[in-house]
Homo-oligomer: A and B are copies of this chain.
Amino acid sequence: MKIGVLTGGGDCPGLNAVIRAVVKTAIQQYKMEVLGIIDGYYGLVNNEIKELALEDVSGIMPRGGTILGTSNVVNPFNYYTIVNGKKVYSDISDIVIKNIKANGIDVMVVIGGDGTLEIAHKFFKKGVPVVGIPKTIDNDLSATDVTFGFDTAILTATEAIDKIHTTAESHHRVMIVEVMGRNAGWIALHSGIAGGAHIILIPEIPFNYDEILKKIYERKGKGKHFSIIVVAEGAKPKGGDVVVKRFVADTTEPIRLGGIGNKVADEIEKITGFETRVTTLGHIQRGGSPSPFDRILATRFGAEAVQLVAKGDFGKMVSLRTPEIIAVPLGEAIGRQKKVATDSSYIRTAKMIGISFGDQ
């Protein structure tokens, strides 16, 4: 029995822990072989594949990233090549399937987010035995209680907010911290509560600038001359649009525009005159050594995936249903986003202790 393992999509703390668990379980418990696919589906297209021995995964658990590399863009069902300077798309999934067979791979273990798993599902429907492992740092996948990487991102974001606090206090400033979360506000919500934010803005709850200002003034009225706002990159004002960070260039100077954090800062400063500063955490949220929680969850996912392989239970995705790891059909797992329910217990708690979501 030969397993091919690939990591696709954005990198995420815990990927190496999954790979390690897959290799250790497959080789030690089941005498299987494991092949590592390089750079996600790119490696399957281009036949960049290498054997993974126990030695290759020794000591990798505490490291961020993925030893296999990843890519966000390669989709064998809609693959583009540049012809005469233009992208031409075609379905090369059969080439991939041929490569899988040529390498003697009996089953693919695919670790990735919604996009990556959707492709995996298509291969499954074309007859490739597949087991999926969910990965999204945003925690916005409804088929599992939580995904690895999320806890580490919260750690990093909370640590940053903790650091911002002292500057805010010492300088009587409004400090805005923009965190990841285009469609779901999980990271903003959790790191905002943990970091002692006064205002949290998430995509699920469109905000009013008036409410933000009210909170800031309310604090000022109590002698608190600073406020911390944590904002998810996908947050937007009521009736307004998401601010898309984009690259623009004028003739003299190409620039990159900031996102919603900067926009909120501009508004606050314009209206109140209070010094307002923005920190956009960016890629550090994806990096670093995975937290113990993420290491354990990733390890459980990896070991469980191999057990599904051993049982021949394909077309499934491993998933956390606390405290157990279960298997759910890939087809049911993909394409279903988990949003923050506006009446959830987290939101209620946050409001209880006085956090504003800019609504009402």
Chain A: residues with CB nearer than 8 A to chain B? 7, 10-11, 13, 15, 20-21, 24-25, 28-29, 39, 54, 58-59, 61-66, 69-72, 145, 151, 154-156, 158-160, 162-167, 169-172, 175, 190-191, 193-196, 222, 224, 243, 247, 249, 253-258, 262-263, 265-267, 270, 277-280, 282-284, 286-289, 291-293, 295-296, 299-300, 302-304, 306-307, 322-325, 344-346, 348-349, 352-354
Q: Is B265 a contact partner of A155 (Cβ separation < 8 A)?
A: no
Q: Is B325 a contact partner of A345 (Cβ separation < 8 A)?
A: yes
Q: Is B283 a contact partner of A170 (Cβ separation < 8 A)?
A: no
Q: Which of A64, A195, A263, A352 counts the most B-chain CB atoms under 10 A from its CB?
A: A352
Closest 7 CB pairs of A and B: A163-B287, A65-B166, A64-B166, A194-B292, A65-B170, A254-B266, A11-B170
Residues of B within 8 A of A159 (CB): 288
Q: Is A254 a contact partner of B282 (Cβ separation < 8 A)?
A: no
Q: Is B254 a contact partner of A270 (Cβ separation < 8 A)?
A: yes
Q: Is A262 a contact partner of B270 (Cβ separation < 8 A)?
A: no
Interchain CB contact (< 8 A) of A352 among B249, B283, B307: B307
Q: Is B266 a contact partner of A262 (Cβ separation < 8 A)?
A: no
Q: Is A353 a contact partner of B249 (Cβ separation < 8 A)?
A: no
Sample 27 A-B pairs with CB under 8 A, ordered by A number: A10-B171, A25-B353, A58-B224, A63-B166, A66-B170, A70-B170, A151-B292, A154-B292, A162-B289, A167-B283, A175-B283, A193-B299, A194-B293, A254-B270, A255-B258, A256-B265, A278-B282, A279-B283, A279-B284, A291-B291, A296-B346, A299-B349, A303-B349, A303-B352, A303-B353, A306-B352, A325-B345
**A65 to chain B: closest residue by CB:** B166
Total copies of the chain: 4
Interchain CB contact (< 8 A) of A256 among B191, B196, B267, B278: B278
Tell me the minimal C-beta distance from A351 to chain B in angstroms. 8
Interchain CB contact (< 8 A) of A65 among B167, B190, B243: B167
Q: Is A287 a contact partner of B172 (Cβ separation < 8 A)?
A: no
Q: A65-B170, A167-B65 are in contact. Are A352 and B25 (CB under 8 A)?
A: yes
Q: Is B253 a contact partner of A353 (Cβ separation < 8 A)?
A: no
Q: In the complex, what distance in Å separates the CA atom of A64 from the CA atom of B289?
A: 14
Q: In the complex, what distance in Å separates the CA atom of A254 from the CA atom of B164?
A: 24
Tell me the minimal C-beta distance from A63 to chain B in angstroms. 7
Q: Is B352 a contact partner of A163 (Cβ separation < 8 A)?
A: no
Residues of B within 8 A of A69 (CB): 169-172
Q: In the complex, what distance in Å separates the CA atom of A254 from the CA atom of B186?
A: 27
**A17 to chain B: closest residue by CB:** B194
Residues of B within 8 A of A278 (CB): 256, 282
Interchain CB contact (< 8 A) of A266 among B24, B249, B304: B249
Q: In the complex, what distance in Å separates the CA atom of A15 from the CA atom of B167?
A: 12
Q: Is B288 a contact partner of A162 (Cβ separation < 8 A)?
A: yes
Q: Is B353 a contact partner of A20 (Cβ separation < 8 A)?
A: yes
**A267 to chain B: closest residue by CB:** B254
Residues of B within 8 A of A289 (CB): 162
Residues of B within 8 A of A166 (CB): 11, 13, 63-65, 286-288
